């Protein structure tokens, strides 16, 4: 499970699978639908369920609490919160409360963030320091505190939580940047690798994580490798690839203007798309028009049952230990219904391979 010491030389084990809603899909799903989808995932043997912390959509912790009341076994994680929108002390309280409610199934997924920052005047400053300081403080508070921190980004004046909680709640760091991938290897229980699905990009990310493990004096393979994967299933491959661009859009826009992860896949942002983003414009339709199919093939999973099964199997073969499926339906289709098709038609092929 997340947090175990997975040595590089240990025996190969079956990959784990989870699911969750991301991006614009999150805004279309009610809290009750989130809970019922978590129940669906548990019924089909998944290992984890994740809820996005995206402003201004339904609250992540209310949604995860609802999922906790409808499930018994699934790990329940934030995918992902950040060190800015809430003070890390409040995040420590929220995740520990979820862990208590769920009987020890909470996972803190955290990353550099960005959602909703413009509306409330937040800036993403010193993300490596912010995440290092936040994770350290949160773990101290979970361990019983008191803690004191006068960091570059985070400050905490000697307080402690007013209730006892599990000190070993897993922490996974989601990122596609080289410095934060190294930070994940240095101190996190797991890394949600957000570099796309191309094997060469996964290999690049694993190298960065391994460098962090060496720097932190950790055993090789100590960091569980997770991957949140946008997936669209449809009989029409063309429609599927077009729909999944709504997920690819987030990675392309959120990373501008630095695209190390794309170069690791052998890609460059097309000049017309780069210039459009450089102009500051963010019209979703125009961006999707400018995203080429070659980028989709390297960043997401889309197509028929056989297409999706082949692409998922390739992702597992690249070393990902825990695949997290983020469904994006075609047109006005229901994301939950499409996810169920993936679980019943695609996943059995991958598990049997």
- Per-residue pLDDT tens over the stretch 75-92: 999 999 999 999 999 999
Continuous segment of H or E residues that includes residue 277: helix 271-278
Predicted local confidence at residue 12, as pLDDT? 57
In terms of pLDDT, which residue wins out, 114 or 205? Answer: 205
- 99 in a structural domain: yes
Q: How far from chain centre, in Å, is Cα 66?
A: 20
For 284-306, write each residue's pLDDT tens digit: 999 999 999 999 999 999 999 99
For 168-184, write each residue's pLDDT tens digit: 999 999 999 999 999 99
d(CA 87, CA 80) in angstroms, rounded, equals 15
For 5-61, write each residue's pLDDT tens digit: 333 333 457 899 999 999 889 999 999 999 999 999 999 999 999 999 998 999 999
How many domains is the chain partitioned into structurally? 1
For 84-120, write each residue's pLDDT tens digit: 999 999 999 999 999 999 999 999 999 999 889 989 9
Please report, for the domain that includes residue 139, its CATH number: 3.20.20.30
Check whether 3 has a pLDDT greater than 80. Answer: no
Instruction: Name beta bridge partners: 171.
Output: 108
For 53-78, write each residue's pLDDT tens digit: 998 999 999 999 999 999 999 999 99
Predicted local confidence at residue 166, as pLDDT? 98
Q: What is the DSSP string of 59-73?
A: -HHHHHHHHHHH-SS
For 247-285, write each residue's pLDDT tens digit: 999 999 989 999 999 999 999 999 999 999 999 999 999
- Token match 């030389």: residue? 9
- 275 in a structural domain: no
Cβ distance 161 to 221 under 8 Å? no
Alpha helices per DSSP H over the chain = 23-26, 31-43, 60-70, 88-102, 117-120, 127-142, 178-187, 199-215, 237-255, 260-264, 271-278, 284-290, 293-299, 305-317, 335-341, 347-352
Give the dihedral sign, CA 61/131/300/2.
Answer: negative
Task: Tell me the pairing of strands 190-193 and 106-110.
Answer: unpaired
- 161 in a structural domain: yes
Check whether 352 has a pLDDT greater than 80. Answer: yes
Cis peptide leading into residue 56 (ω within 30°): yes
For 302-319, write each residue's pLDDT tens digit: 999 999 999 999 999 999
- 285 in a structural domain: no
- 227 in a structural domain: yes
Rounded to an integer, the average pLDDT of 215-234 is 97
Cβ distance 117 to 134 under 8 Å? no
Predicted local confidence at residue 208, as pLDDT? 98
- 264 in a structural domain: no
Predicted local confidence at residue 1, as pLDDT? 56
Output helix, strand, coil percentages for the chain, rounded to the nearest 5.
Answer: 45, 15, 35
d(CA 167, CA 100) in angstroms, rounded, equals 12
Cβ distance 158 to 130 under 8 Å? no
Q: Pick from 243, 236, 339: which is nearest to 288 by CA?
A: 243
Say what the pTM is: 0.94
Alpha helices per DSSP H over 75-215 = 88-102, 117-120, 127-142, 178-187, 199-215
- 288 in a structural domain: no
Q: Pick from 175, 176, 174: which is nearest to 264 by CA?
A: 176
For 125-158, write each residue's pLDDT tens digit: 999 999 999 999 999 999 998 999 999 999 999 9
d(CA 317, CA 196) in angstroms, rounded, equals 14
Predicted local confidence at residue 276, as pLDDT? 97
d(CA 2, CA 188) in angstroms, rounded, equals 10
Predicted local confidence at residue 8, as pLDDT? 37
Q: Pick from 130, 108, 128: which is nearest to 189 by CA?
A: 108
- Determine the structural domain holding residue 111 and report its residue range: 16-244+302-352
Token readout for 8 is 């590089």
Predicted local confidence at residue 319, as pLDDT? 97
- 223 in a structural domain: yes
């Amino acid at each position: 499970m997340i947090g175990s010491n997975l040595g590089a030389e240990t025996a190969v084990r079956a990959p784990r699978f989870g699911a969750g809603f991301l991006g614009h899909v999150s805004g279309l799903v009610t809290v009750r639908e989130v809970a019922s989808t978590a129940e669906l995932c548990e019924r089909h043997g998944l290992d984890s369920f994740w809820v996005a912390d995206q402003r201004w959509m339904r609250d992540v912790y209310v949604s995860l609490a609802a999922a906790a009341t409808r499930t018994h076994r699934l790990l329940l994680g934030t995918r992902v919160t950040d060190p800015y929108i809430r003070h890390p002390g409040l995040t420590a309280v929220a995740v520990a409360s979820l862990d208590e409610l769920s009987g020890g199934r909470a996972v803190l997924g955290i990353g550099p963030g960005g959602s909703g920052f413009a509306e409330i005047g937040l800036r993403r400053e010193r993300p490596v320091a912010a995440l290092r300081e936040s994770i350290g403080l949160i773990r101290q508070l979970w361990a019983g505190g008191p803690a004191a921190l006068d960091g570059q980004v985070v400050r905490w004046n000697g307080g402690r939580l007013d209730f006892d909680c599990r000190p070993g709640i897993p922490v996974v760091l989601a990122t596609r940047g080289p410095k934060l991938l190294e930070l994940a290897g240095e101190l996190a229980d797991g890394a949600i690798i957000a570099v796309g699905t191309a094997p060469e990009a996964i290999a690049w990310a694993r190298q960065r994580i391994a460098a962090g493990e060496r720097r932190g004096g950790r055993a090789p393979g100590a960091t569980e490798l997770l991957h949140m994967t946008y997936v669209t299933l449809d009989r029409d491959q063309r429609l599927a690839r077009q729909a999944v661009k709504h997920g690819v859009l987030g990675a392309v826009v959120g990373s501008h203007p630095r695209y190390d992860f794309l170069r690791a896949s052998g890609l460059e942002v097309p000049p017309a798309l780069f210039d459009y983003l450089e102009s500051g414009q963010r019209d979703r339709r125009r961006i999707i028009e400018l995203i080429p199919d070659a980028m989709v093939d390297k960043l997401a999973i889309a197509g028929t049952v056989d297409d999706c099964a082949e692409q998922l199997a390739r992702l597992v073969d690249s070393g990902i230990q825990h695949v997290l499926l983020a469904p994006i339906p075609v047109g006005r289709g229901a994301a939950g219904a499409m996810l169920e098709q993936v679980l019943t038609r695609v996943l059995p092929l991958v598990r049997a391979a």
